[in-house]
């Protein structure tokens, strides 16, 4: 039977449609593979970041957690964790110590320097430790500490809004995080102390330290004592507080040290003469945390990749490897029988 012209066109168009669908199928497969690689790449970065953060947490637990009240050990750990180039051990920019009575604390402000994008930034850190609180004759165990600072200009970027006040809350029971340390940093940089579009910087005008005995409200937020543990200001303080000081004055020339260095980085002689602490701990011994996490991740990804892209082919391979092809095109099994009769031969080989 001959095909009419219409039948020929139908067959030709059908073949063309199948060709288009086959190409689309190939393109979709490659698109899916590329998308999979991209997702895995992004996920790998996230997992590595998580493992590196876990490494820092383990270091903090081992070295810093039990030494918050030891300035030398804890601040060296802060140098290590925060990537601080140095802090100036003495003279301090400001100091207040209350070591008697029911409401005790130490507050120091140190000059610090950091390097970011090959640019040195001067600044200072507010460090609170040696906190002792006694309520009704009972010492509060591990009180929550809140440090609030106020500037004379709105230069702090908080939630994409410039404000003149910033704060941190330190909970010693929580794992290490960049925001969960009893240290508040301020730098002569955008979003910190630099006044936008001006070659000028905001000044510290007030510090308030509050505490919570770990009581919470109905929303599970910590309730801080109505009277602050400490208030420091450069003006008269009218509010009630357990400790007060009106001598909070930070001279910018005392913490802007980079202009006094011969080069970008302080020399050994400058480190000694300015009493700078540049020591950092070696974190290489904690690399096992990263290796452990990444090995587990690679094993999981390898398993998922196998199931998505190779399992079907491997299964088909093992399914058909013992099959042959008959002359009529059908499959024939080419396998050894599991059970078969044993043929015994006599002595003559018959």
pLDDT band at 118 (very low <50, low <70, confident <90, very high): confident
Q: Is pLDDT at 339 greater than 50 in this prediction?
A: no
Q: Give me the phi and psi of 279, to 5 degrees please.
A: -65, 140
CA-to-CA separations, 306 to 29, 30, 139, 237, 314, in angstroms, rounded: 16, 16, 58, 68, 10
10-46 tens-digit pLDDT? 445 566 666 777 777 777 777 777 888 888 889 889 8
pLDDT beyond 70 at 7:
no
The H-or-E segment that residue 147 falls in is: strand 144-151
* Averaged confidence pLDDT in the chain: 86
Query: Which carries the bigger pLDDT value, residue 203 or residue 330?
Result: 203
Q: Are strands 165-170 and 144-151 parallel, antiparallel or unpaired?
A: antiparallel
CA distance 69 to 260: 32
Q: Which one is predicted more confidently, 29 or 105?
A: 105
Please give the model's pTM, rounded to 2 decimal places. 0.78
Task: Decide which of 166 and 19 is more confident.
Answer: 166
Lowest mean pLDDT among 62-76, 133-147, 334-348: 334-348
How do residues 236-264 score in pLDDT, each as one tens digit?
999 999 999 999 999 888 999 988 988 88
Separation CA 57–CA 81 (nearest Å): 9
What pLDDT, on the 0 to 100 scale, is given for residue 110? 97
Mean pLDDT, rounded, for 298-317: 75
Question: Does residue 325 have a pLDDT over 80?
Answer: no
Q: Which tens digit of pLDDT belongs to each residue from 207-247?
A: 999 999 999 999 889 999 999 999 999 999 999 999 999 99
Q: What strands, in cross-sheet order, belong to the sheet with 165-170?
A: 165-170, 144-151, 204-212, 230-233, 244-245
pLDDT at residue 223, rounded to an integer: 95
* pLDDT for 305: 80
Contact 202, 155 (CB under 8 A): yes
Dihedral, CA of residue 315, residue 316, residue 322 and residue 325, to nearest 10: 180
Contact 211, 146 (CB under 8 A): yes
Using the predicted structure, report yes or no on whether residue 348 has a pLDDT greater than 60.
no
Q: How far is CA 256 from the centre of its chain?
A: 29
Residue 342 is predicted with a pLDDT of 53
Evaluate if residue 49 carries a pLDDT over 60.
yes
Q: Which residues pair with 139 in a beta bridge?
A: 134
**Residue 48 φ then ψ, to 5°:** -65, -40
Which candidate, 293, 289, 150, places its Cα nearest to that of 228?
Answer: 150
Q: Which of 162-171, 189-198, 215-224, 328-337 has the lowest mean pLDDT?
A: 328-337
Residue 122's pLDDT is: 95
Cα 160–Cα 161–Cα 167 angle in degrees, nearest 5: 95
For range 182-198, the mean pLDDT: 93
Each domain of the chain, given as residue ranges in start order, spans 1-83+280-314, 87-270
**SS3 at position 100:** coil
pLDDT confidence of residue 188: 92
Per-residue confidence (pLDDT) for residue 227, from 0 to 100: 95
CA atoms within 13 A on the CB side of 285: 6
């Amino acid at each position: 039977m001959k095909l009419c012209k219409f039948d020929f066109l139908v067959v030709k168009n059908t073949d063309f449609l199948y060709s288009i669908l086959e190409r689309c199928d190939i393109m979709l497969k490659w698109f899916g593979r590329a998308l999979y690689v991209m997702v895995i790449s992004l996920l790998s970065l996230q997992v590595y970041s998580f493992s590196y953060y876990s490494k820092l947490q383990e270091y903090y637990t081992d070295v810093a957690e039990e030494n918050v009240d030891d300035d030398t050990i804890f601040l060296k750990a802060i140098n290590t964790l925060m990537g601080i180039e140095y802090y100036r051990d003495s003279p301090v920019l400001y100091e207040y110590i209350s070591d008697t009575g029911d409401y005790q604390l130490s507050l120091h402000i140190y000059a610090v320097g950091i390097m970011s994008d090959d640019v040195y930034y001067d600044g200072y850190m507010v460090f609170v430790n040696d906190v002792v609180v006694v309520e009704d004759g009972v010492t509060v165990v591990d009180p929550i500490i809140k440090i609030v600072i106020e500037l004379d200009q709105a230069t702090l970027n908080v939630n994409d809004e410039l404000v003149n006040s910033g704060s941190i809350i330190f909970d010693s029971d929580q794992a290490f995080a960049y925001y969960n340390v009893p240290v508040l940093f301020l730098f002569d940089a955008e979003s910190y102390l630099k006044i936008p579009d001006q070659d000028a910087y905001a000044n510290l005008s007030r510090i308030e330290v509050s505490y919570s005995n770990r009581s919470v409200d109905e929303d599970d937020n910590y309730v801080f004592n109505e009277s602050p543990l400490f208030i420091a200001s450069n003006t008269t303080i009218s509010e009630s507080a357990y400790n007060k000081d009106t001598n909070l004055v930070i001279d910018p020339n005392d913490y802007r040290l980079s202009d006094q260095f011969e080069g970008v980085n302080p020399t050994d002689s400058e480190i000694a003469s300015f009493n700078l602490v540049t020591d950092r701990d070696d974190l290489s011994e904690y690399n096992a945390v990263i290796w452990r996490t990444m090995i587990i991740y690679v094993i999981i990804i390898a398993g998922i990749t196998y199931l998505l892209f190779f399992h079907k082919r491997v299964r088909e391979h093992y399914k058909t490897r013992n099959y042959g092809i008959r002359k009529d095109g059908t499959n024939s099994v080419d396998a050894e029988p599991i059970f078969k009769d044993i043929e015994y031969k006599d002595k003559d080989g018959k």
